[in-house]
Amino acid sequence: DAKTTQPPSMDCAEGRAANLPCNHSTISGNEYVYWYRQIHSQGPQYIIHGLKNNETNEMASLIITEDRKSSTLILPHATLRDTAVYYCIVRPLTSGTYKYIFGTGTRLKVLA
Amino acid sequence: ETGVTQSPTHLIKTRGQQVTLRCSSQSGHNTVSWYQQALGQGPQFIFQYYREEENGRGNFPPRFSGLQFPNYSSELNVNALELDDSALYLCASSLGTSGSYNEQFFGPGTRLTVL
């Protein structure tokens, strides 16, 4: 079972910030949080990942709460091309196996 | 630098047949994972190969098998196809070492339809 819970869907106006929440209350101290998105049945696209500090790259910002039980992905200026399913993943450590356990994600719709 | 590529893009098979899907990893990546994504669901982990050996497997039966070659390309083989095997099959590569948190890069997937 996925270790994360996300709202099934969200809408965001074009040009505004999209804030996508994720709950991972059972996260372990050495597990990272990853975010991917999937546009219309293409392969998932890596966005960002982090451990406990906030992270920012050219695509997005990741805010992780101090207790690490939840995080928020921020797309600062959403465009129509950001319409996609966004997955929050906590990577479990299993003898070095790199498996991701995906949930059902959040379907973000950016509105013109 | 080329990304992860998969072939074929679409495939139609009938129940009971066998299928082989192929994946070329991103340059320099030595770990490949395969995922199955049913319609409307998130991808489900099938198995992973690191340096030509399977080093992790999800909850899939033995009729799902794989190979990784010395150039780190990979195959997913599915025997005795069932209707429920209809899905998007995704390959993901990464640079893997023990304890590494390097991200996985996914290919575009192969859409398999079993009739």
- Mean pLDDT of all residues belonging to chain A: 91
A51, A87, A98: residue with CB nearest B33: A98
pLDDT at position A2: 64
Residue B28 pLDDT level (bands cut at 50, 70, 90)? confident
The alpha-carbon gap from A2 to the nearest alpha carbon of chain B, in Å, equals 10
Task: Give pLDDT, residue B72.
Answer: 84
pLDDT above 90 (res B102):
no
Mutate to test the interface with A, among B68, B101, B112 (most CBs of A within 10 A): B101
Question: Given an 8 Å threshold on Cβ–Cβ distance, is A32 in contact with B101?
Answer: yes
Mutate one of B37, B103, B111 to test the A interface: name it (highest A CB count within 10 A).
B103
Find the closest chain A residue to B53 by CA distance: A97
pLDDT of residue B20: 98
Which residue, among A83, A88, A111, A112, has the nearest Cα to A101 in the 3D structure? Answer: A88
pLDDT digits (tens, 9 = 90+) for B50-71: 888 888 899 999 999 999 999 8
List of residues 6+ apart from A71 with CB closer than 8 A:
A21, A22, A24, A33, A50, A62, A63, A64, A65, A88
Across chain B, what does the average pLDDT equal? 91
Q: Indicate whether A87 pLDDT > 90.
A: yes
CB-CB under 8 Å, A43 with B94: no
Distances (CA, A) of B106 to A10, A14, B16, B46: 24, 27, 28, 14
The whole-number average pLDDT for the span B4-20 is 97
Please give the Cα distance from A21 to A38 (Å, whole number): 17
* Nearest Cα to Cα of residue B59 among B44, B74, B70: B44
Is the separation of the CB atoms in A105 and A38 below 8 Å? yes
pLDDT band at B11 (very low <50, low <70, confident <90, very high): very high
- The proportion of chain A whose per-residue pLDDT surpasses 90, expressed as a percent, equals 72
Instruction: Kindly report the backbone phi and psi dihedral angles of residue B105, in degrees, each rounded to the nearest multiple of 5, phi listed first.
Output: -115, 125
pLDDT at A93: 58
Tell me the β-bridge partners of A97: A94
Banded pLDDT at A9 (limits 50, 70, 90): very high
**Cα nearest neighbour of B40 on chain A:** A104
Mean pLDDT of all residues in B14-24:
97
Residue, of A37 and B72, whose pLDDT is higher: A37
Q: Which of B4, B42, B55 is the closest to A102 by Cβ? A: B42
Using the predicted structure, report yes or no on whether residue B14 has a pLDDT greater than 90.
yes
Out of B35, B41, B48, name the one closest to residue A97 (CB). Answer: B48
Closest CA to A100 of B103, B31, B62, B73: B103
Give B 57-76 residues with CB within 8 A of chain A: 58
Q: What confidence score (pLDDT) does residue B99 get?
A: 53
DSSP one-letter code for A80? G
Highest mean pLDDT among A61-75, B51-65, B92-106: A61-75
